[in-house]
């Protein structure tokens, strides 16, 4: 899908040549800045109550009289902001999904200057609406989006809009990669598959990549990571990606993504219902790959490292047992009270490993706890960070990207729940505050750098009839990395 800015006046939209025209309107019952035939079409539709200026409403007009475009969609938005534009465009794209329109022109709401955020919202909405998973479903229809999209606006807005379109397209490519990886079933998306994706990404975009096998991980002393992987026939992989966009003297930002390619819960086995969705437990790893895809295209002046510990969590005769004690790479011992709290075990060794990079900041991303879903639902990612400046940078990045997070507490008193009589710590606390105690566990391995943890258990995928990966938080992470560039 190719996105371009096109100078155009709303008063002249009826003369525009395209396969489909999407006109965004807001709650003002005036002419919306339209003229001639389109203004009359809107007036008639409102008078006949075929359309209302309420967010979420759409009206499809086929070959309307006096309008050059053969298809017109009127889409009502709550206001003229980027968030409302994205929602309205998503609705309009649904109307056009099976229309066959190859060139779509988008006329945003009247009365506000177009910004880079508006442009990025246009790309995000249409890219999301056109995505179709096909890899293991050959009967699925082909991607339904247009080949070409023109975003209409005033010449004065051109520079900002073009910047937003470029950023939006890079992020959309990253989101698509993350979705493609996460949507694949566990017998396709294995730790080795993630390593292949990292190698392919590195080859295509000039990145550096290193993939460690079990022998190398054993040599490093990653006892917690090894414990999780030991019940699986699939070999583990420890993946390290590097994007060098700044001088070597500049400390890198590090992203650490949980890569559990399938999670049965191990000996502490999960209920059968919805266990198929545990193929999404590598959503953190997918988001790291997706962010690297976006960053490699945008080429900011920053050094970026991505670390992905990848394995399965399976319950065979060699699997780690509740009550077993393992020694992490940091030297701290862990009593594994629940083998289904495995994500923090592979992450803690990765968080120790990244000390070697002397990072400017480390952000780990993980589908870590059901407790976070209970706390925040599926709208916001849980953010845990003791550093106010780093936390605000991540929150602000989420707002800019329309990929929201919410800051959660890290009070020291929560650490009491992790005490063990047989090791330096247990890997779980009680039921209460489960997302917080998981973050407190990870915090024990991050004393040597600035650190934040994103719990994406509620946002990395959707269940039910819309089951599938979302690609979050690639937009948030990409904005964060761009914001750290000098």
Distance CA(281)–CA(343), nearest Å, equals 9
pLDDT band, very low/low/confident/very high, at 126 (cuts 50, 70, 90): very high
Lowest mean pLDDT among 6-15, 194-203, 248-257, 321-330: 6-15
**List of E strands, 34-145:** 58-62, 71-76, 103-107
Homologous superfamily (CATH) for 175-484: Zn peptidases (3.40.630.10)
- Joined together, the tokens standing for residue 271 give 């209920």
Catalytic residue among 68, 270, 399, 407: 270
DSSP notation for 310-352: EEEE--STTS--TT-EEE-TTS-EEE-S-TT--HHHHHHHHHH
Q: What is the pLDDT of residue 29?
A: 58
User: Is 199 assigned a catalytic role?
Assistant: no
Average pLDDT of the chain? 95
Residue-wise burial string across 40-53, b where 16 or more C-beta atoms lie within 10 A, e elsewhere: bbbeebbeeeebeb
Domain with CATH 3.40.220.10 in the chain: 2-152
pLDDT digits (tens, 9 = 90+) for 154-174: 998 999 999 999 999 999 999
Q: Kindly report the CATH class assigned to 2-152.
A: alpha beta
Domain with CATH 3.40.630.10 in the chain: 175-484
Higher pLDDT among residues 336 and 486, named by residue: 336
Residue range 399-419: mean pLDDT, rounded: 97
Q: What is the pLDDT of residue 113?
A: 86
User: Is 270 assigned a catalytic role?
Assistant: yes
Q: Is the pTM of this model over 0.75?
A: yes
DSSP 3-state of 149: strand
pLDDT digits (tens, 9 = 90+) for 382-406: 999 999 999 999 999 999 999 999 9
pLDDT digits (tens, 9 = 90+) for 301-332: 999 999 999 999 999 999 999 999 999 999 99
Distance CA(99)–CA(91), nearest Å, equals 14
Catalytic residue among 184, 258, 344, 443: 344
pLDDT digits (tens, 9 = 90+) for 360-369: 999 999 999 9
Q: What is the pLDDT of residue 233?
A: 97
């Amino acid at each position: 899908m190719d996105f371009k800015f096109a100078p155009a006046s709303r008063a002249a939209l009826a003369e525009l040549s395209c396969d489909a025209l999407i006109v965004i309107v807001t709650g003002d019952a005036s002419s919306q800045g339209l003229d001639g035939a389109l203004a009359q079409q809107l007036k008639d539709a409102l008078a006949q109550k075929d359309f209302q200026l309420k967010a979420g409403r759409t009206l499809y007009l086929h070959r309307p009289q006096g309008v050059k475009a053969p298809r017109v969609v009127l889409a009502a938005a709550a206001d003229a902001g980027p968030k409302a534009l994205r929602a309205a465009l998503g609705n309009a794209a649904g109307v056009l999904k099976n229309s066959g329109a190859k060139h779509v022109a988008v006329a945003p709401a009247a009365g506000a200057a177009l910004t880079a955020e508006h442009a990025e919202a246009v790309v995000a909405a249409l890219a999301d609406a056109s995505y179709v998973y096909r890899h293991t479903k050959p009967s699925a229809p082909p991607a339904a989006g247009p080949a070409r999209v023109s975003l209409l606006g005033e010449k004065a807005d051109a520079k900002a809009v073009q910047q937003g379109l470029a950023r939006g397209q890079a992020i959309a490519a990253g989101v698509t990669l993350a979705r493609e990886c996460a949507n694949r079933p566990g017998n396709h998306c294995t730790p080795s598959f993630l390593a292949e994706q990292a190698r392919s990404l590195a080859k295509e975009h000039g990145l550096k990549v290193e993939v460690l096998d079990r022998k190398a991980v054993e040599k490093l002393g990653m006892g917690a990571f090894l414990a999780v992987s030991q019940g699986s026939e699939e070999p583990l992989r420890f993946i390290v990606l590097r994007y060098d966009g700044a001088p070597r003297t500049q400390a890198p930002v590090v992203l650490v993504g949980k890569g559990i390619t399938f999670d049965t819960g191990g000996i502490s086995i999960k209920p059968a219902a919805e266990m198929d969705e545990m193929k999404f437990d590598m959503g953190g790893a997918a988001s790291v790959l997706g962010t690297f895809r976006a960053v490699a295209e945008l080429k900011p002046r920053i050094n970026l490292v991505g670390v992905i510990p990848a394995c399965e969590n399976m319950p065979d005769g060699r699997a780690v047992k509740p009550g077993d004690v393992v020694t992490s790479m940091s030297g701290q011992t862990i009593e594994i009270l629940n083998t289904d709290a495995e994500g923090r075990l592979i992450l803690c060794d990765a968080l120790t490993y990244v000390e070697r990079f002397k990072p400017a900041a480390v952000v780990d991303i993980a589908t870590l706890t059901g407790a976070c879903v209970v706390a925040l639902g599926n709208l916001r990612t849980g953010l845990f960070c003791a550093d106010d400046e780093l936390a605000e940078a991540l929150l602000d990045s989420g707002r800019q990207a329309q990929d929201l997070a919410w800051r959660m507490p890290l009070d020291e008193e929560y650490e009491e729940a992790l005490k063990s009589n047989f090791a330096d710590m247990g890997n779980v606390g009680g039921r209460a505050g489960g997302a917080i105690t998981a973050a407190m566990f990870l915090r024990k391995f991050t004393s040597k750098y600035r650190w934040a943890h994103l719990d994406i258990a509620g946002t990395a995928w959707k269940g039910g009839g819309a089951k599938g990966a979302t690609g979050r938080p690639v937009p948030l992470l990409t904005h964060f990395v761009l914001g750290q560039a000098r």
